Amino acid sequence: MSNRVHIFDHPLIHHKLSILRDKKTGTREFRDLVSEIAALMCYDATRDMPTRDVDVETPIGIAHCKTLAGKKVAIVPILRAGLGMVDGMLSMLPSAKVGHIGLYRDPETLDPVEYYCKLPTDISEREVIVVDPMLATGGSASAAVQFMKGYGCRNIKMMNILAAPEGIERMQHDHPDVDIYVAAVDEKLNDHGYIVPGLGDAGDRIFGTK
């Protein structure tokens, strides 16, 4: 099995991404843009969700409608930066539950270090969308997905705003069953594991640290 990589080509997403990348964009605008891009990506990444037919009585007559069917959704941000995508996702999926996984990248080894985990009790029965703005080496995403699988999750999507080719390859190798949704794939990683040209440190730009 090989996972599919969905790269978005929507003009609104790319317009917002161009502002997001700009080093002159301040914390408040950056935060708003991450949330807006997440909402737009969520809209498109959920187009394969199953629906069922329902009849709804309007004030005038009966309308034949479609309503969401199938598994309920859990959004799982990778802390910290993934938190920036949660509100945007919830604006599209207001009934979703939210789990949290805390991982940070060791600056020397670039390996993910886990420091927090709190998930909905029925997580294994839900469709899981793991969110993090950056897929760099892929270490954090791969560890987070492995974690979710350890909790019995089988229906997992990964959503990132920016990816490096190295991160996509890592996910394809480690988790060929997980589809990846990204707004753009950049050139490469630099020696410190940052995406080039990227947007810098997503967590610091969202939360105004550093």
Coarse DSSP helix, strand, coil percentages of the chain, rounded to the nearest 5 percent: 35, 30, 35
Name the one residue in this structure whose structure tokens are 């914390």.
27
Query: CA 200, CA 194: separation in Å to the nearest integer?
Result: 7
Residue 43 backbone dihedrals phi, psi, to 5 degrees: -55, -45
The binder of ligand PRP chosen from 98, 104, 123, 165 (CB under 6 A): 104
Residues 133-192 that bind ligand URA (CB under 6 A): 134, 136
Residue 84 contact, options ligand URA, ligand PRP, none, Cβ 5-8 Å cut-off depending on partner type: none
Among 109, 122, 177, 209, which one carries the catalytic annotation?
A: 109
- 100, 130 contact by CB (below 8 A): no
Residues linked to residue 157 through DSSP beta bridges, in sequence order: 129, 179
Q: Is 201 a catalytic residue?
A: yes
Q: Provide the token pair at 49.
A: 């969700």
Select the residue interacting with ligand URA from 29, 32, 36, 201 (CB under 6 A): 201
| 42/202 with CB nearer ligand PRP | 202
Catalytic: 80?
no
48 is catalytic: no
Residues annotated as catalytic (active site), given as ranges? 105, 109, 201, 204
Please report, as ranges, the residues that interact with ligand PRP according to CB under 6 A.
78, 80-81, 104-105, 110, 112, 132-141, 167, 193, 202-203
